[in-house]
């Protein structure tokens, strides 16, 4: 903090005045704060690429009253501020019921009516995140860049499904669902049953297949500024951005965990820093299926 | 005690019998799509009664199984193409387009293209431990579509389909394979080729299945180092597989020698044909083993690279949520109705935000009233390319080449010395009075080049192209005495080639080549 303020020569000792006695908020300050939030809404924009954005991010970090003002503007608009930094810019997420939130019905029309499709689309997003940050450390490490491929995500979930199937078979339980209660079918069966891909008349990806669903998820995340496409290999190869890591770590992961806890299915952690036991060999946890290989 | 009291109310004899019944019902269900083909063919627009669709369907499953590669599945077009002869044989009078339609229809029906899951569902009932009767759904696929490395869609047969196809293949692959090989060897020795072919085909199915098992194991390994026991299980598996391959390779080569003898010594045409088919099958087995072996050898280095990258990275101080272990895996075990809650929660927060579109009426009016931009159907006009003639920078002119070839057009029985040819070349160049040619050196140089080239004549090419004569040059140790060139005074001559004989040889070689 001190080094930055020394490197940057303040005009007419303004920060000193701000820290000594809070200056009254002027309409110009509000406009600037709102401008920063509007930059934050453009998820693909980075402070390094835009001088004005960079300047506002710097002011947010060095001028606490301005920071509080920008936070208030964001909150008022129905946004949650995750982080304001040079690497991620002003990372904002939509609060629940905000106008900025994405609704499943807008995302996929089929998902609105079919509970199986609704689940598959949600699971695809979860699987992309799980494969992008396979170890807890990866999610915690700010410098980590995850990589996912469309085919890799599908294969990864299928493998997990196969394990569950094998386990069920070993236990001798009949996993075939009851015909009259589709909601009681085990979730893994829904993914395993859906075809991985399919030939279509116009050589496009079959949208209902699992690779089609995953590919929709990743291209949506690209539009959100969460992933960047690196190549077309393996159905499309992508790498994560800082914003995606923040969003998954600080928001989505916790929310989904809370739902799971509410259902009473998650084994409660004993408070040790490593949440997953490293020696449990039948679990994919530690270095779950990375779709790329160190060459 | 309560169980005894319950017994009279239970109509089924017991859970074990019930399970057996369920298993048989499932097996029966797997054949249903094949029967279904014949009952549904009346729905096709046109006269299709004369095709036996179940036969085509089984053949399709057969073809996909045999064309499945280690990495990807079978190519759809190849399968359709190979299916055609059988369909055409069923109804030779019909158009090829109709045959193709039948092939596509059968394949699509086996994939069940119309359904969302692209699979089949059968319903069967079981009695629960409390005696309650429950209807259950059994979902299965016969042929599934998988993505290939190149982004294309490939076909693979499922375990269910393989079981329908050859029956009771759900056995220990290794021991079944050995039994089949021994059987095959005995059959060949006794000259019972029809039985031997059946056994060989079964052996090939087992080979495919073995490869499939290993492919899955290796795929799991690639995806996650720690999920697989690299201390004992995988090295054992690889050793076992390599032993198996070495063993089978020796075995199959022995069989190959045996069948080849049977093929060559047999006088009966049918016998010969069967033996030739057997040779093909066994060769295919050997090819598949080699492919498998390559994969096995890659597994070790892959593991070490992954181990390096994943296990030896410096740990970070903080820890995050374990997305797989704490979220994905538990969600998958939940019933569908419950599982949607966490996935919905994740979806709502992990997809990012979308800025809603705000429309101004003024913009809308402008937008609607703007006439669409006329687009030229053929696109912009291409500029006429400005072509520049490239200078002819070849060293020798056409006339020189012609003269040189004329000089070297020697009678077959009269080879000549290079020194004489060079002298001739210089004389001729002077006669031609070529202005570019200084003292005929250029022509002589070309002749020398051609002669040196002929020292290693392209016999193979000439043989393949069926040429009648070939220029050759031999060094007999005599030194070349020439003002312009040094080296050996080559003997240059023409050799006549027996074109007709070569053509016959080629045909023979091709015949034995495919059979050998």
Least confident range from A142-151, A179-188, B177-186, B442-451: namely B177-186
Residue B470 pLDDT > 50, yes or no?
Answer: yes
Chain A closest CA to B345's CA: distance in Å? 5
List, as ranges, residues 208-227 from B with C-beta within 8 Å of A.
219-220, 222-227
Find all residues with CB under 8 Å of B367, minimum gap 6, and list them: none
Q: Is A60 on the interface with B (CB under 8 A)?
A: no
- Say what the pLDDT of residue B117 is: 82
pLDDT digits (tens, 9 = 90+) for A207-217: 888 999 999 99
Give which of A172, A115, A28 is closest to B15, Cα–Cα.
Answer: A172
Q: Which of A151, A196, A164, A195 is nearest to B219 (CA)?
A: A151
Residue partners of B28: CB distance under 8 A and separation at least 6: none
Give the minimum alpha-carbon distance from A17 to chain B in angstroms, rounded to a whole number.
37
The span from the CA of B71 to the CA of B293, in Å, is 13
Question: What are the extents of the domains in chain A?
Answer: 18-94, 104-263
- pLDDT at position B499, please? 66
In the listed set B105, B137, B166, which residue is the last one of a domain according to the structure? B166
Q: Residue A77 has what DSSP assignment?
A: T
Mutate to test the interface with B, among A45, A105, A176, A196 (most CBs of B within 10 A): A176
Q: Out of B101-115, B308-322, B389-403, which region has the weakest mean confidence (pLDDT)?
A: B308-322
Q: B343 — contact with chain A (CB < 8 Å)?
A: yes
> Of A144, A134, A154, which is closest to residue A283 (Cα–Cα)?
A134
Q: Do A136 and B321 touch (CB under 8 A)?
A: yes
Q: What is the ipTM of this complex?
A: 0.81
Among the residue ranges A30-34, A47-51, A284-288, B107-111, the one predicted with the least confidence is A284-288
Give the C-alpha separation, A262 to A285, whole Å: 22
The C-alpha atoms of residue A198 and residue A207 are separated, in whole angstroms, by: 9
Residues of A in contact with B141 (CB under 8 A): 195
Confidence of residue B209 (pLDDT cuts 50, 70, 90): low
Asked whether the CA dihedral A23, A25, A28, A34 is positive or negative, the reply is positive
Alpha-carbon dihedral angle through residues B159, B165, B170, B176, given to the nearest 10 degrees: -130
In this structure, are B262 and B407 located in the same domain?
no
The closest CB to that of B330, out of A141, A255, A265, belongs to: A265
pLDDT of residue A31: 93
> Are the C-beta atoms of residues B443 and B425 closer than 8 Å to each other?
yes
Nearest to B226 among A126, A139, A287 (CB): A287
- Strand, coil or helix: B139: strand
B380 domain residue, yes or no: no
**Lowest pLDDT segment from A10-19, A115-124, A181-190, B477-486:** A10-19
CA of B234 to nearest chain A CA: how many angstroms apart? 14
Long-range contacts of A10-15 (CB under 8 A, 24+ apart): A15/A62, A15/A63
B92 and B193 in one domain?
Answer: no
B237-293 residue pLDDT tens: 778 777 777 777 777 777 777 777 767 777 777 777 777 777 887 788 778 778 777
Confidence of residue A15 (pLDDT cuts 50, 70, 90): very low
Alpha carbon distance B213, B231 (integer Å): 20
Domain membership flag for residue B298? yes
- Residue B407 sits in the same domain as residue B501: yes
**Residue B74, in any domain of the structure:** yes
- What contacts A76, CB < 8 A, 6 or more positions away? none
Does B154 share its domain with B227?
Answer: no
Is residue B375 one of the residues assigned to a domain?
no
Residue B334 lies in a domain: no
pLDDT for A215 equals: 92
Q: Does A135 touch chain B (CB under 8 A)?
A: yes
Q: How far apart are CA B65 and CA A278, in angstroms?
A: 40
Instruction: Give the tokens for residue B434.
Output: 């070529």
Q: What is the distance between the alpha carbons of residues B350 and A249, in angstroms, rounded to a whole number?
A: 10
Please report, rounded to a whole number, the percentage of residues in chain B having pLDDT higher than 70: 73
Cβ atoms within 10 Å of B178's Cβ, excluding its own: 17
The secondary structure of B496-510 as a DSSP string is E--HHHHHHHHHHHH
Residue A121 CA to residue A116 CA, distance in Å, equals: 9
**Domain-terminating residue out of B135, B166, B197:** B166
Q: Which two structure tokens, joined as six digits, stand for B115?
A: 């359904």
For B107, which residue in chain A has the nearest alpha carbon?
A: A199
pLDDT attached to residue B402: 86
DSSP assignment string, A148-179: EEHHHHHHHHHHHHHHHHHHHHHHT---SPBT
- The C-alpha of A274 sits at a distance from chain B's nearest C-alpha, in angstroms, of 6
Q: Is A45 in CB contact (< 8 Å) with chain B?
A: no
Lowest mean pLDDT segment, chosen from A69-83, A134-148, B158-172, B196-210: B158-172
Total-model pTM: 0.59
Tens of pLDDT along B337-381?
A: 888 899 998 998 888 888 888 878 888 888 888 887 777 677 777
The stretch A86-92 carries a mean pLDDT of 90
Would you say A200 and B114 are in contact if contact means Cβ atoms under 8 Å apart? no
Token pair for B411? 């009678």
pLDDT for B306 equals 67
Instruction: Give residue-wise pLDDT tens across range A242-281.
Output: 999 999 988 888 888 888 888 887 654 433 322 233 333 3
Q: What is the 3-state secondary structure (H, E, C) of B461-476?
A: HHHHHCCCEEEEEECC
Number of H helices, E strands in chain B: 18, 7
Give the closest of B138, B145, B327 to A176, CB-based.
B138
Of residues B277 and A187, more confidence is placed in A187
Same domain for B136 and B11, yes or no, is yes
pLDDT given at position B168: 45
State both tokens at B506. 């080629």
Within an 8 Å CB–CB cutoff, is residue A159 touching chain B? yes
A218 within 8 A of A291, measured Cβ to Cβ: no
Choose the most confident range, by mean pLDDT, from A94-98, B85-89, B316-320.
B85-89
Task: Give the DSSP letter of residue B335.
Answer: B
pLDDT digits (tens, 9 = 90+) for A190-205: 999 898 888 777 767 7
Helix (H) or strand (E) holding A216: helix A210-223
Would you say residue B272 lies in a domain?
Answer: yes
- Determine contact: B334 vs chain A, CB below 8 A: yes
Q: Which residues contact A129 (CB under 8 A, 6 or more apart)?
A: A244, A248, A252, A253, B323, B346, B350
Contact of B248 with B177, CB cutoff 8 Å? yes
Q: Residue with structure tokens 């017994």?
A: B7
Give the Cα separation of B370 and A29 in Å (integer). Answer: 40
Give the total residue count for chain B.
516
The token pair that represents A105 in the structure block? 């019905």
Q: How many CB pairs under 8 A join A and B?
A: 326
Instruction: Flag if B320 and A286 touch (Cβ within 8 Å).
Output: no
Tally of CB atoms within 10 A around B427:
13
- The conformation of residue B494, written as its DSSP 8-state character, comes to E
Distance CA A104, CA A30 (A): 34
B422, B440 contact by CB (below 8 A): no
Does the beta-carbon distance from A283 to B308 stay under 8 Å? no
In chain A, the DSSP E strands lie at: 79-85, 89-94, 147-149, 227-231, 237-240
To test the contact with chain B by mutation, choose from A144, A199, A279 the residue with the greatest count of B C-beta atoms within 10 A, namely A199
Same domain, B243 and B291: yes
- What pLDDT, in 10s, does the model give residues B285-323? 778 778 777 777 777 777 777 676 656 655 544 556 778
At A56, the pLDDT band (50, 70, 90 cuts) reads very high
Q: Give the separation between CA B500 and CA B11, rounded to whole angstroms.
A: 83
Q: B223 and A155: CB-CB below 8 Å?
A: yes
Look at B153 and A199 and tell me if their CB atoms are within 8 Å: yes
Tell whether B77 lies on the interface with A, counting CB pairs under 8 A.
Answer: no
pLDDT at A57: 93
pLDDT value at position B516?
Answer: 35
Domain presence at residue B237 = yes
Closest among B144, B334, B150 to A210, alpha carbons compared: B144
The average pLDDT across B95-122 equals 88
Q: Does A116 touch chain B (CB under 8 A)?
A: yes
* Residue pLDDT, tens place only, B211-221: 666 666 666 66
- CA proximity to B181, closest of B255, B288, B243: B255
What is the distance between the alpha carbons of residues B4 and B130, in angstroms, rounded to a whole number? 12
Q: Which domain holds residue B7?
A: 2-166
pLDDT, mean over chain A = 79
Do B35 and B178 fall within a single domain?
A: no
Verify that B129 and B191 share a domain, yes or no.
no
CB crowding B383-411: b at 16 or more within 10 Å, else e: eeeeeeeeeeeeebbeebeebbeebbeee
Same domain flag for B124 and B205: no
Residue A94 and residue A101 in contact, taking contact as beta carbons nearer than 8 Å:
yes
Helix B96-111, helix B76-90: angle, nearest 10: 120
Using the CB atoms, write b or e for B58-88: b if 16+ within 10 Å: bbbbbbbbbbbbeebbbbbeebbebbeebbb
Q: Is residue B243 part of a domain?
A: yes
Question: Phi, psi at residue B252, to the nearest 5°?
Answer: -70, -35
Do B162 and B24 reside in the same domain of the chain? yes
B503 with B475, same domain: the answer is yes
Write down which residue in B283, B308, B333 finishes a domain: B308
Which of A128, A159, A217, A287 is best to mutate for the B interface (most B CBs within 10 A)? A287
Place of tokens 């053509």: B503
pLDDT tens by residue, B126-183 = 877 777 888 888 888 888 888 877 778 888 888 777 766 555 444 444 555 555 565 5
Examine the domain organization and report whether B193 and B141 are in the same domain. no
Task: Provide the number of structural domains found in chain B.
Answer: 3
Kindly list the residues from chain B whose CB atom is less than 8 angstroms away from the CB atom of residue A281: 226-227, 229
What whole-number distance in Å separates Cα of residue B380 and Cα of residue B376? 7
């Amino acid at each position: 903090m001190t080094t930055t303020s020394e490197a940057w020569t303040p005009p007419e000792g303004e920060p000193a005045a701000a820290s000594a006695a809070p200056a009254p908020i002027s309409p110009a300050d509000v406009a600037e704060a709102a401008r920063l939030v509007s930059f934050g809404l453009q998820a693909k924009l980075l402070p390094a690429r835009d001088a004005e954005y960079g300047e506002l991010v710097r002011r947010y970090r060095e001028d606490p009253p301005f920071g509080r003002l920008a936070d208030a503007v964001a909150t008022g608009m129905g946004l949650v501020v995750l982080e304001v930094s040079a690497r991620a810019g002003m990372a904002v997420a939509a609060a629940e019921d905000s106008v900025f939130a994405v609704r499943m019905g807008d995302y996929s029309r089929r998902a609105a009516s079919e509970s199986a499709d609704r689940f598959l689309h949600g699971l695809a997003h979860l699987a992309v995140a799980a494969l992008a940050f396979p170890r807890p450390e990866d999610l915690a490490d700010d410098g980590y860049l995850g990589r996912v491929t469309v085919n890799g995500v599908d294969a990864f979930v299928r493998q997990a499904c196969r394990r569950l199937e094998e386990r069920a078979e070993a236990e001798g339980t009949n996993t075939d669902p009851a015909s009259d209660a589709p909601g009681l079918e085990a979730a893994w069966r829904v993914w395993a049953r859906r075809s991985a891909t399919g030939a279509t008349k116009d050589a496009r990806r079959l949208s209902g297949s699992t690779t089609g669903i995953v590919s929709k998820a990743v291209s949506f995340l690209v539009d959100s500024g969460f992933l960047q496409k690196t190549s077309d290999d393996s159905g499309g190869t992508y790498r994560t951005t800082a914003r995606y890591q923040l969003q998954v770590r600080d928001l989505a992961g916790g929310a989904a965990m809370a739902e799971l806890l509410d259902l009473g299915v998650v084994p409660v952690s004993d408070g040790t820093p490593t949440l997953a036991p490293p020696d449990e060999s039948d679990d994919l946890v530690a270095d779950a299926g990375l779709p790329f290989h160190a060459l | 005690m309560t169980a005894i009291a319950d017994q009279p109310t239970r109509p089924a004899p017991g859970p074990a019998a019930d399970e057996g019944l369920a298993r048989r019902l499932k097996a029966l269900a797997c054949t249903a799509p094949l029967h279904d083909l014949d009952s549904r063919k009346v729905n096709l627009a046109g006269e299709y009664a004369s095709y036996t669709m179940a036969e085509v369907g089984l053949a399709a499953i057969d073809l996909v199984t045999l064309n499945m590669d280690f990495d990807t599945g079978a190519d759809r077009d190849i399968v359709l193409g190979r299916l055609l002869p059988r369909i055409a044989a069923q109804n030779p009078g019909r158009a090829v387009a109709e045959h193709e339609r039948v092939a596509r229809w059968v394949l699509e029906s086996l994939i069940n293209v119309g359904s969302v899951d692209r699979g089949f569902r059968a319903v069967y009932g079981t009695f629960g431990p409390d005696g309650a009767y429950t209807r259950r759904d059994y979902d299965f696929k016969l042929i599934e579509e998988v993505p290939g490395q190149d982004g294309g869609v490939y076909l693979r047969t499922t375990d269910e389909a393989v079981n329908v196809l050859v029956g009771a293949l759900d056995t220990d692959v290794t021991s079944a394979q050995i039994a089949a090989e021994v059987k095959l060897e005995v059959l060949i020795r006794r000259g019972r080729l029809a039985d031997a072919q059946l056994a060989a085909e079964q052996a090939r199915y087992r080979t495919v299945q073995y490869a499939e098992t290993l492919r899955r194991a290796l795929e799991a390994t690639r995806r996650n180092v720690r999920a697989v026991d690299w201390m004992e299980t995988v090295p054992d598996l690889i050793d076992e597989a390599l032993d198996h391959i070495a063993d089978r390779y020796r075995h199959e080569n022995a069989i190959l020698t045996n069948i080849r003898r049977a093929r060559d010594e047999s006088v009966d045409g049918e016998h010969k044909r069967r033996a030739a088919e057997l040779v093909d099958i066994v060769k295919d087995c050997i090819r598949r083993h080699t492919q498998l072996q390559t994969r096995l050898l890659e597994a070790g280095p892959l593991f070490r690279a992954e181990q390096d990258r994943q296990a030896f990275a410096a740990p970070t101080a903080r820890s995050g949520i374990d997305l797989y272990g704490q979220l994905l895996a538990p969600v998958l075990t939940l019933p569908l109705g419950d599982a949607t809650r966490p996935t919905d929660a994740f979806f709502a927060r992990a997809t990012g935000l979308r800025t809603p579109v705000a429309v101004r009426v003024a913009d809308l009016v402008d937008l609607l009233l703007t006439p669409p931009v006329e687009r030229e159907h053929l696109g912009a006009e291409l500029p006429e390319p400005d072509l520049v003639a490239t200078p002819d920078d070849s060293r020798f002119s056409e006339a020189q080449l012609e003269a040189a070839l004329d000089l070297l057009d020697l009678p077959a029985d009269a080879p000549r010395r290079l020194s004489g040819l060079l002298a001739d070349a210089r004389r001729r160049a002077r006669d031609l009075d070529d202005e570019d040619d200084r003292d005929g050196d250029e022509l002589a140089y070309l002749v020398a080049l051609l002669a040196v080239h002929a020292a290693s004549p392209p016999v193979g090419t000439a043989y393949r192209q069926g040429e009648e004569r070939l220029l050759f040059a031999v060094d007999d140790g005599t030194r070349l005495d020439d003002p312009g060139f040094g080296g050996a005074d080559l003997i240059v001559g023409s050799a006549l080639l027996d074109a007709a004989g070569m053509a016959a040889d080629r045909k023979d070689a091709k015949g034995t080549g495919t059979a050998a």
